């Protein structure tokens, strides 16, 4: 018989009890609102707010469940996958109801089947991927996988909804064209994620680290080739055509930068941290100097390309990883002040012109930028619970399927739904940093931290730009926005992050 003094104190279970209670409350509230809304529809009422609130509560129940898993309060991750399926099916159904109630799409069974085809294909690809995981006995991190699938499911529905009646810049998209193309990229990204998780072992990464200086050089060469030979779109050359496909080369370049950063600082870590007084200035210059020069190659190529969103991304990544690798607060702070001073000079000299325009649009969005002003009005019109899927006007915002997909969510799901999307991103941040902190190998630590920082910083730049917190970066929201190159690379990085967790046996 177990002794009383060996029992776990009751107060140790209070956080788990509170979290579980919140989860059940959100889940039951979502179920009640869903049934209530469906009953109202059966009685002849129009698509109303309870159905939209049901989706928001389901989303928050998923966030709470994953939050409990991050805090090691529960290990029941199979329920989380069912919640993703429930959220995906509910969002698809609500988007179809909202659009059909306005007469935008057909209400017949063939029309409905055509509308749901991308969702069914994505579901089949996901089930095939999960079956392959079980067959190959790959124990990938379920928290990260579930959060990614939740973000993608919402993003796919929004792309389908916006693409149905997209009227930005006077054009009109073919029904589900965006969603169908996005599903194709999802299949390629899912395959890349599983391949990276299967073959991205620590021994292979160690062999790759011996050629670490080739990574930033290759990234710079790839960007320069794009600048020289890529098709010109809106005055810039950002894409490289590969037969029937095209690729935004900055996406693989940022993955190369993540790997180079991890390999370089893992090699220099003993030198940087030698001595009880922390990294000295001389040691810092000797170690970080070559790193700054090598990272400057792709940054210089991006400046030549006039693509300042990735410049902001890689600069912020450099500062954060410099702090994480060295532990010194003063050096990243000094670098940040120098960068801000250079930015201030470039703005007042209006060189380059695009940077000046971005800052001017940020300072006075309602006077200088139609996109920013429409995006802010779209966010404001959503209120707390949103206008409802398919009943708002997010398609009137230019690039609502790409740069401004977060504004589309804010309008149709409201502040509560927007916070739920942000909650899933926060789950990725917390889990990624937990994996980095628990890894025993310094290279694995830096890889996990680098991938997490890159994805997190990109999401912050997108959301900050759309909401007017910072100048618009022109990037895609990870796992949500339309963009094949971005989706494939982000899924590949997620696969490597999950492989690190599997190698380090982090539960």
- Residue 234: predicted pLDDT: 65
- Residue 208: predicted pLDDT: 92
Domain assignment of residue 400, yes or no = yes
Each residue of 354-385: b (16+ CB within 10 Å) or e? ebeebbbbbeebeeebebbbbbbebbebbeeb
Distances (CA, A) of 108 to 156, 216, 257: 22, 53, 50
Q: How far is CA 102 from the centre of its chain?
A: 31
Q: How confident is the model at residue 170 (pLDDT cuts 50, 70, 90)?
A: very low
Identify the domain boundary among 166, 198, 230: 198
More confident residue, 370 or 433: 433
d(CA 397, CA 166): 9
**Token pair in block for residue 446:** 């830096």
Q: Which of 303, 342, 421, 385 is nearest to 63 (CA)?
A: 421
- Residue 425: predicted pLDDT: 95
Domain assignment of residue 322, yes or no = yes
Domain assignment of residue 163, yes or no = yes
Over 80: is that where the pLDDT of 307 sits? no
Task: Verify that 51 and 187 share a domain, yes or no.
Answer: yes
Distances (CA, A) of 188 to 56, 195, 248, 432: 29, 11, 15, 23
Q: How confident is the model at residue 277 (pLDDT cuts 50, 70, 90)?
A: very low
Q: Kindly state the average pLDDT of the residues 54-68.
A: 93
Q: How many residues does the chain have?
A: 507
Domain assignment of residue 136, yes or no = yes
Task: Verify that 257 and 170 share a domain, yes or no.
Answer: no
Give the 3-state secondary structure of residue 506: coil
- Residue 74: predicted pLDDT: 58
Task: Verify that 129 and 226 share a domain, yes or no.
Answer: no
Q: Kindly state the average pLDDT of the residues 406-419.
A: 92
- Residue 415: predicted pLDDT: 92
Task: Verify that 84 and 32 share a domain, yes or no.
Answer: yes
Task: Verify that 138 and 241 share a domain, yes or no.
Answer: no
Task: Verify that 255 and 379 share a domain, yes or no.
Answer: yes
Q: Model-level pTM?
A: 0.91
Dump pLDDT digits (tens) for 374-408: 889 999 998 899 888 888 888 888 888 888 899 99
Domain count, the chain: 2
Task: Verify that 113 and 215 share a domain, yes or no.
Answer: no
Task: Verify that 193 and 208 share a domain, yes or no.
Answer: no
Identify the domain boundary among 198, 232, 259: 198
- The stretches of 102-237 forming alpha helices (DSSP H) are 109-136, 142-164, 177-199, 202-209, 214-229
Task: Verify that 104 and 237 share a domain, yes or no.
Answer: no
Q: Which of 466, 457, 476 is nearest to 410 (CA)?
A: 466
Q: Kindly state the average pLDDT of the residues 355-373.
A: 82
Dump pLDDT digits (tens) for 349-358: 777 777 777 8
Task: Verify that 120 and 236 share a domain, yes or no.
Answer: no
Range of the domain at 449: 201-504
Domain assignment of residue 226, yes or no = yes
Domain assignment of residue 8, yes or no = no
End-to-end, the C-alpha distance of the chain in Å comes to 30
d(CA 258, CA 251): 11
Query: What is the percent of the chain where pLDDT is above 70?
Result: 89
Task: Verify that 135 and 156 share a domain, yes or no.
Answer: yes
d(CA 296, CA 313): 13
Domain assignment of residue 34, yes or no = yes
- Residue 3: predicted pLDDT: 46
Q: How confident is the model at residue 173 (pLDDT cuts 50, 70, 90)?
A: very low
Identify the domain boundary among 167, 198, 229: 198
Task: Verify that 208 and 179 share a domain, yes or no.
Answer: no
Considering the chain, what is the average pLDDT of its residues? 84
Domain assignment of residue 45, yes or no = yes
d(CA 56, CA 379): 16
Q: Which of 200, 193, 242, 227 is nearest to 310 (CA)?
A: 227
Dump pLDDT digits (tens) for 427-467: 999 999 999 999 988 999 999 999 999 999 999 999 999 98
């Amino acid at each position: 018989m177990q002794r009383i003094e060996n029992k776990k104190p009751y107060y140790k279970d209070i956080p788990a009890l509170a979290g579980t209670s919140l989860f059940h409350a959100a889940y039951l509230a979502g179920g009640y609102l869903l049934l209530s809304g469906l009953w109202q529809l059966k009685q002849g009422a129009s698509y109303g707010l309870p159905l939209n609130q049901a989706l928001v509560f389901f989303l928050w129940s998923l966030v709470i469940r994953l939050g409990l898993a991050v805090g090691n309060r529960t290990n029941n991750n199979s329920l989380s996958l069912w919640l993703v399926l429930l959220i995906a099916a509910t969002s698809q159904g609500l988007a179809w109801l909202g659009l059909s109630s306005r007469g935008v799409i057909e209400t017949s069974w063939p029309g409905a089947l055509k509308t749901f085809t991308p969702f069914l294909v994505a579901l089949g690809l996901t089930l095939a991927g999960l079956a392959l995981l079980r067959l190959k006995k790959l124990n990938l991190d379920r928290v990260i996988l579930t959060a990614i699938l939740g973000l993608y499911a919402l993003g796919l529905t929004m792309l389908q909804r916006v693409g149905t009646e997209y009227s930005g810049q006077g054009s009109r998209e073919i029904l589900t064209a965006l969603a169908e193309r996005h599903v194709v990229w999802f299949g390629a990204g899912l395959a890349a994620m599983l391949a990276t998780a299967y073959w991205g072992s620590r021994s292979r990464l160690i062999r790759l680290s011996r050629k670490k200086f080739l990574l930033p050089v290759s990234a710079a060469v790839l960007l320069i080739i794009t600048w020289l030979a890529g098709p010109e779109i809106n005055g810039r050359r950002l894409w490289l055509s590969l037969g029937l496909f095209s690729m935004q080369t900055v996406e693989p370049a940022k993955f190369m930068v993540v790997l180079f950063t991890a390999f370089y600082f893992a090699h220099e870590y003993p030198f940087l941290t030698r001595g009880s007084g922390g990294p000295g200035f001389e040691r810092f210059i000797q170690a970080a100097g070559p790193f700054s020069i090598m990272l400057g190659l792709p940054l210089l190529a991006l400046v030549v390309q006039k693509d300042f969103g990735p410049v902001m991304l890689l600069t912020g990544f450099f500062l954060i990883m410099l702090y994480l690798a060295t532990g010194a607060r003063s050096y990243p702070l000094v670098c940040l002040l120098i960068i801000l001073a250079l930015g201030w000079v470039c703005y007042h000299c209006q060189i380059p012109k695009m940077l000046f325009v971005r800052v001017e649009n940020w300072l006075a969005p309602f006077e200088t930028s139609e996109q920013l002003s429409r995006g802010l009005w779209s966010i404001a019109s959503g209120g707390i619970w949103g206008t409802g899927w398919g009943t708002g006007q997010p398609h009137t915002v230019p690039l609502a399927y790409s740069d401004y997909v977060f504004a589309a969510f804010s309008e149709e799901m409201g502040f509560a739904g927007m916070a739920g999307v942000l909650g899933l991103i926060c789950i990725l941040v917390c889990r990624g940093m937990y994996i980095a902190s628990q890894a025993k190998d310094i290279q694995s630590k830096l890889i996990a931290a680098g991938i997490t920082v890159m994805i997190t910083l990109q999401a912050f730049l997108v959301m900050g730009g759309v909401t007017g917190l910072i100048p618009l970066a022109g990037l895609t929201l990870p796992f949500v926005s339309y963009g094949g190159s971005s989706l494939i690379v982000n899924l590949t990085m997620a696969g490597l992050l999950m492989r690190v967790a599997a190698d380090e046996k982090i539960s």
